[in-house]
Amino acid sequence: MVTEEKIGNNIPLDGAEGHVTGTSEYVSDISKIENELIVDFFYSTEPHGEIINIDLEEARKISGIVGLYTYKDIEGENKFGPIIKDEVLLAESILEYVGQPIVIIAGESKKAIKLAKKTIKIEIKKLPHILSIEEAIEKNQFIGETRVIERGDIEKEFQKAEYILEGNTRNGGQEHFYLESQAAIAYPQENNTLEIISSTQNPTEVQNVIAEILGIPFNKIVVKTRRMGGAFGGKETQATHPAAMAALVAMKTKRPARIVLSCDDDMITTGKRHEFYNKYKVAFTKEGLITALKVEFFSNGGYSNDLSTSIRERAMFHAENAYFIPNIKTIGKVCKTNLPSNTAFRGFGGPQGMLNIESIIEDIAIFLKIDAFDIRRLNCFGIEKNNTTSYEQEVSNNTLPELMDKLLKTSNYKERHKQIEEYNKNSTLYLKGISFTLVMFGISFTARFMNQASALVNIYTDGSIQVSTGGTEMGQGLNTKISQIVADEFCVEPKTVRMMITSTEKNNNTSPSAASASTDLNGTAAKDACQKIKTRLIEFASNYLVKDNSEHKPSINAIEWTYDGIYDKRISNKKITFKELVKNAYLNRISLGERGFYATPQITLFDWNTGRGKPFLYFTNGAAVSEVRIDRFTGELKVLRTDILMDIGKSINPGIDKGQIIGGFIQGMGWLTTEELKYSEKGELLSHSPTTYKIPNIQDIPEVLNVDWIENGKNVVNIRQSKAVGEPPLMTSISVWTAVKHALSFISNGEIPKLDAPATSEEILKAMSRFPISMKV
């Protein structure tokens, strides 16, 4: 019925005009209410210890200090957690990391709060602490159960293998570095209820946790989220803590209370992407065909679980990435350490899992002296056969071979590979490297119940539309895409669709905007609501359009709904506009509002006893080639060129999707190159601001960056045949890191160079100095 699709159009981001003029409102921009309080907290400076005494005497005397609250002031439950209830809002008797909140401070001014912090005295009996994965392994400190996925018989394969490599890989954590730090405002309202404005990906969890902490029913709390100034997973679970602090203060004082973490405190006290340490053993043939792989993943979970166990599971789901490995065993453990609880970050364990296997393949290539591309091509999932994952989900509609073959050509990989060999023979100052990596990222929350969403669509009598979903906007373009979907359902311009603030009173029990799936889920729910309204409107139109016409009986099948208007195809000269239609429908008492719902079909509950299931609805794929140059004397790295080719199905908004691809790539590149978390021996984060924590700068983008995607209309399982695009591109950045390895292989005399992530200049120089510089001039 549709004549002119709004899907696939490059319309500007919803809210872009506000962004460029500085009028988009974030939590800290909201005008202050007269009696509003500032909320902050006093945190632990010890990584592990027992609280002997908390002295708040002096602090209470400071003028401008309105409240000081410890866990004793919590009337509901201090314990919570998205998977395991092992977190506390405020420390009770044991301190478990530097940065752990102990006292909430509410004050009239920043000055008073600063003073109060200086006077609070906590007596602590120090306890031994653990920071590293190795120590946790040694002391047997783990969170949750060990997970195993196994297929085939690795031991048998290892026995008869042609070649075996054993080793380990390591990646550092990553700070989200959303520019808007964690922030929330709590407004007390009548009858002991609260309205919360929170910068969160997960309004429902904020609502639930606050209610539990306050000991009141969920329905007494409304949480609203207009937008976030970046989140990347960092506001999936950890936006709850600051919001709960503001809520507690608002409830106690009956005054509005706002908390906005400083950039430094945010970095010091909140969780990050997980550091991983992995042991592996791999068997392969002389052609580079991988026959068996054993990987043991150890992630650094921090002091509590948060989402660590799930993140570890996704690392395991992606342990083989895009490659078919017949005999495989992956084991995953989460280490408990005295650090802030690590949390979701774009990719959710996927990047760590993939980095490991891509590193292994690079090593095999160096070992066998074969181009790593050929090894990847050889092992890549097949179309007809060799197309099941280690947990035996079928890789259907596999576009990986197509991506590989196309990008091989467009990137001119083979030719450049040769040129680099030549270059390195003659260059005294620099080494170059090139690498081609793949991404196959499963889409859906791996916790099955989370794959549901609701949407509310309201049409007004002038034809304008409001849409509310449980999805939250953080710059990823969710609202824009939903407005396109809704506009297209009704054949109207996207600008007639207004995306409303996300609110738990409009949409209840929502899932976080995460797992790349928020358009898939909320967009489909919105479509469902539209279709329900449309059904009514079509029925109404079928009567309305023939009402003065005795020739035709009303027929819903005769109704054409187009961008030019709605008409009965038997009387095509009588067209009415959408506006006329809804106006008249209203006058005839037809409901113009609807709630839609969606639950992802096909996926199954994963059975961890057998290590089998279908956790993903489909896979988003990608391939990337990066060429790098390293300075032989300083280890400094420059990314010269990157080519990325993705399969994102049919794009709903190419401009937004391109932005996601590039943004993800650069963010991943930061993780693997310049972003280094440095801690003191006590576990204090030393790199806690952009002065010392270096995310990519505009000067760091590759000199040449080519981004493209293939035409793929086969992904019929998802909304408008699109594919999720939020996380997968991040992992294209692995090509940068493996390219460094490739560069190093030119001086390693056949040895496999040892390189950890991030490949900082220091790490690269260290890797180079393991091999004596032999320069032919």
Partner 1 sequence: MYINTTSFKTVYYLNNNYMKNHIELCINGETHHAYGEDAFLPLSDYLRTKLHLVGTKEVCIEGDCGACTTLLGRLKNEKFYYETIDSCISYVYQLNNCHVVTVEGIKNSKLNSVQESMITSHGAQCGYCTPGIVVSLYSFFNSCSKKTCTKSDIQDALTGNLCRCTGYETIVEAGLTLDNNSIEKLSDIYSEDKLLAILGKETKENIEINTNDYVFYQPVTLKEALKLKNENPDTKILAGGTDLHVMCNKRDFSLKKILYVSNLKELKSIEVKDNHITIGAAVTLSEFEQSVSEYYTDLKEFLNLFASPQIKNIGTLVGNIANASPIGDTLPFLLVMDSELELESVNGKRKVNMNNFYKGYKSLAMESNEIITHVNIPLLKKDEILKLYKVSKRKHLDISSFSAAIRMKEKNGIIESFIIAFGGVGPTVQRIYEIESYLTGKRLCEDILNEAAQMIENIIKPISDVRGHKEYRLQLAKNILKKFYFELLESDKKKVLA
- How far is Cα of residue 313 from the mean position of the Cα atoms in its chain? 15
By C-beta, is 305 or 476 nearer to ligand FES? 476
- Separation of alpha carbons 599 and 517, rounded Å: 12
Please give the full DSSP string across 365-401, using - where no structure is assigned: HHHHT--HHHHHHHHB--SSSS-B-TT--B--S--HH
Q: Does residue 684 interact with partner 1 by CB under 8 A?
A: no
Residue 21 CB, nearest distance to partner 1 (Å)?
6
Q: Please choose which of partner 1, ligand FES, none residue 144 contacts, taking the beta carbon within 5 to 8 angstroms, the exact cut-off set by kind.
A: none
CB atoms within 10 A of CB 119: 16
Binding partner selected for residue 20 from ligand FES, partner 1, none, CB under the kind-specific 5 to 8 Å limit: partner 1
- Cβ-based nearer residue to ligand FES, 249 or 661: 661
- From residue 566, alpha-carbon distances to 180, 489, 491, 575, 578 in Å are 45, 13, 9, 5, 7
703-732 positions binding partner 1, by CB under 8 A: 705, 707
Q: Which among 161-169, 176-184, 396-404, 498-506 is the span making contact with partner 1, rule CB under 8 A? A: 176-184
**C-beta of residue 166 within 8 angstroms of C-beta of residue 280:** yes
Q: Is 101 exposed, middle or buried (0-12, 13-18, 19+ CB in 10 A)?
A: buried
Nearest-approach distance from CB 694 to ligand FES, in angstroms? 14
* Closest separation in Å from C-beta 407 to partner 1: 18
**Closest CB to partner 1 among 590 and 662?**
662
Tell me which residue has tokens 């695009």.
Answer: 725
Q: Kindly report the number of other CB atoms within 10 A of residue 145's CB atom.
A: 11
Burial class (CB in 10 A: 0-12, 13-18, 19+), 589: exposed
The residue (of 14 and 275) whose beta carbon lies closer to partner 1 is: 14
Q: Say which residue the tokens 């429908």 belong to.
A: 585
**In 10 A of CB 367, how many CB atoms?**
16
Say how many residues touch partner 1, by CB under 8 A. 83
Q: Which is nearer to partner 1, 410 or 428 (CB)?
A: 428
Query: Which residues contact residue 316 at a Cβ distance below 8 angstroms, ignoring those fewer than 6 apart?
Result: 147, 149, 297, 330, 332, 349, 353
Nearer to partner 1, 232 or 544 (CB): 232
Q: Which residues of 485-520 are buried (b: 16+ CB within 10 A; e: fewer)?
A: bbbbbbbbebebbebbebbbebbeebbbbbbbbbbb
CB of 472 to ligand FES, least distance (A): 14
Strands 565-568, 559-562: parallel, antiparallel or unpaired by DSSP?
A: antiparallel
**Residue 176 or 281 having the CB closest to ligand FES:** 176
Q: Which of 58, 727, 751, 763 is catalytic?
A: 727
Residue 269 CB, nearest distance to partner 1 (Å)? Answer: 16
Using CB atoms within 10 Å of the CB of residue 777, give its burial: 0 to 12 exposed, 13 to 18 middle, 19+ buried: exposed
Site for partner 1 in 5-44 (CB under 8 A): 10, 12-13, 15-26, 28-29, 31
**Rounded to an integer, what distance in angstroms lies between the CA atom of residue 316 and that of residue 352?**
9
Q: Assess 576 for contact with partner 1 (CB under 8 A).
A: no
Residue partners of 388: CB distance under 8 A and separation at least 6: 324, 394, 395
Can 727 be counted among the known catalytic residues?
A: yes
CB 582 within 8 A of CB 592: yes
Cβ neighbours of residue 396 closer than 8 Å, sequence gap 6 or more = 387, 618
CB of 436 to ligand FES, least distance (A): 29
Q: Is 313 exposed, middle or buried (0-12, 13-18, 19+ CB in 10 A)?
A: buried
Strand order in the sheet with 704-709: 430-443, 618-631, 637-647, 704-709
From the list ligand FES, partner 1, none, partner contacted by residue 264 (C-beta under 5 to 8 A by kind): partner 1
Instruction: Give the x-and-dash track for 240-279 against partner 1 (CB under 8 A).
Output: ----------------------xxx---------------
Q: What is the DSSP string of 156-207?
A: HHHHH-SEEEEEEEEE--B----SSPSEEEEEEETTTEEEEEE--S-HHHHH
By CB under 8 A, name the one of 178, 280, 317, 618 that touches partner 1.
178
Residue 474 binding: pick among ligand FES, partner 1, none (C-beta 5-8 Å cut-off by kind): partner 1
Q: For partner 1, which is the closer residue by CB, 351 or 615?
A: 351
Q: Is 694 in the site for partner 1 (CB under 8 A)?
A: yes
Residues that bind ligand FES (CB under 6 A): 179, 230, 475
Q: What residue 655 binds from ligand FES, partner 1, none (CB within 5 to 8 A, per partner kind)?
A: partner 1
Among 570, 663, 714, 756, the residue binding partner 1 under the rule CB under 8 A is 663
Least gap, CB of 474 to ligand FES (angstroms) = 8
- Edge-to-edge strands, sheet with 593-599: 497-499, 465-469, 452-459, 593-599
Tell me which of 60, 85, 125, 678 binds partner 1, using CB under 8 A.
678
Instruction: List the structure tokens of 286.
Output: 């002389």
Q: Which residue has the tokens 């359009």?
A: 545
- Does position 124 interact with partner 1 (CB under 8 A)? The reply is no
Task: Pick between residue 81 and residue 230 the one whose CB is nearest to ligand FES.
Answer: 230
Name which of ligand FES, partner 1, none residue 288 binds, using a CB cut-off of 5 to 8 Å depending on partner kind.
none
In whole angstroms, how close is the CB of 23 to partner 1 at the nearest point?
7
Given the complex with partner 1, which of 288 and 659 has the nearer CB atom?
A: 659
Q: Which does 695 bind (CB under 5 to 8 A by kind): partner 1, ligand FES, none?
A: partner 1
- Applying CB under 8 A, does 735 fall inside the site for partner 1? no
Is residue 775 close enough to count as binding partner 1 by CB under 8 A? yes
With CB under 5 to 8 Å by kind, the binding choice for 94 among ligand FES, partner 1, none is none
Instruction: Report CA dihedral (694, 698, 703, 706) to the nearest 10 degrees.
Output: 100
The residues in 754-773 that bind partner 1, with binding defined as CB under 8 A, are 760-762, 765-766, 769, 773
Q: Identify what 232 binds: partner 1, ligand FES, none; CB under 5 to 8 Å per kind.
A: partner 1
Provide, rounded to whole angstroms, the least separation between the CB of residue 666 and partner 1. Answer: 3
Of 195-234, which residues contact partner 1 (CB under 8 A)?
Answer: 227-232
User: Cα 382 from chain centroid?
Assistant: 28
CB of 731 to partner 1, least distance (A): 14
Q: Is 698 in the site for partner 1 (CB under 8 A)?
A: yes
d(CA 540, CA 578): 12
β-strand partners of 53: 123
Instruction: Compute the least distance from the CB of residue 616 to ligand FES, in Å.
Output: 28
Answer for which of 5, 36, 700, 756 binds partner 1 (CB under 8 A) is 700
Looking at residues 624 to 643 of the shown chain, list those that interact with partner 1 (rule: CB under 8 A): 631-634, 636, 638
Residue 746 within binding range of partner 1, rule CB under 8 A: no
Question: Minimum CB separation from partner 1 for residue 435, in Å?
Answer: 19
Q: How far is the CB of 532 from partner 1 (least distance, A)?
A: 32
What is d(CA 18, CA 14) in angstroms, rounded to the nearest whole number?
Answer: 9
Binds partner 1 (CB under 8 A): choice among 659, 683, 726, 753? 659
Q: Which residue is associated with the tokens 């957690």?
A: 81
Contact by Cβ (8 Å): 332, 313: yes
Stretch that binds partner 1, among 334-342, 513-521, 696-704, 716-724 (CB under 8 A): 696-704
- Tell me the two tokens of residue 770: 């393991």
Report the alpha-carbon distance of residue 312 to residue 304 in Å, rounded. 14
Residue 602 contact among ligand FES, partner 1, none, beta carbon within 5 to 8 Å by kind = none
Q: How far apart are CA 224 and CA 239, in angstroms?
A: 13
List the interface residues with partner 1, window 434-493 (CB under 8 A).
Answer: 474-477
From residue 42 to residue 81, what is the string marking binding to partner 1 with x (rule CB under 8 A)?
Answer: ----------------------------------------
Which residues are identified as catalytic?
727
